[in-house]
Amino acid sequence: MKRRNAIQMTPQECDEFLQRQLTIVLSSIDRHGYPHSVAMWYVMEDGRALMTTYAKSQKTLNIQRNPKVALLAESGASYDTLKGVLIRGHAEVRSDVDACVHTLTRIHQKMTGAMPEGIEEALKQQARKRVLITVHPERVSSWDHSKLGGTY
């Protein structure tokens, strides 16, 4: 068996891994053709990554110009604990306050585990300046070095 196949995560393992990670790195292409990579808070929904950002942000401008993006989630501090998922696909930018509030609420719950009183109004205020980014996967690569059983 090829090493690549030996460390690949199953679709279910990828889903579980992505649900547990707090941040994901979003890479878009800037106007000079260089990668522009930023850490983002996100949630997964039906195999797609959802996140919000300011409508005038560099990543929004990049995606509007070229929707091809990559997402990277990884963990591990030593070779035998390295895990990761790399998603390549296209991003959709949508200006929708209600969808932004819904996504911001889900992200807030994921990151803090709580919804303090009054937070909904604060999220609505934020959402007015934000857009929703939905990443539609086209190619997914994954790795879990713990599957190597200590052999490298």
Percent of the chain with pLDDT over 70: 97
3-148 placed in CATH 2.30.110.10: yes
Over the chain, what is the mean pLDDT? 92
Whole-number pLDDT of residue 152 = 61
Q: Which of 123, 131, 139, 141 is nearest to 62 (CA)?
A: 131
| Contact call for residues 97 and 124 (beta carbons, < 8 A) | yes
131-152 tens-digit pLDDT: 999 999 999 999 999 998 766 6
Checking if the pLDDT of 82 tops 80, the result is yes
Token readout for 118 is 């009054």
Checking if the pLDDT of 36 tops 90, the result is yes
- For the CA atoms of 6, 10, 14, 15, what is the dihedral angle to 10 degrees? -170
Whole-number pLDDT of residue 151 = 67
Whole-number pLDDT of residue 149 = 79
First-last CA distance in the chain: 14
- Picking from 33-37, 98-102, 111-115, which range would have the lowest pLDDT averaged per residue? 111-115
Checking if the pLDDT of 57 tops 90, the result is yes
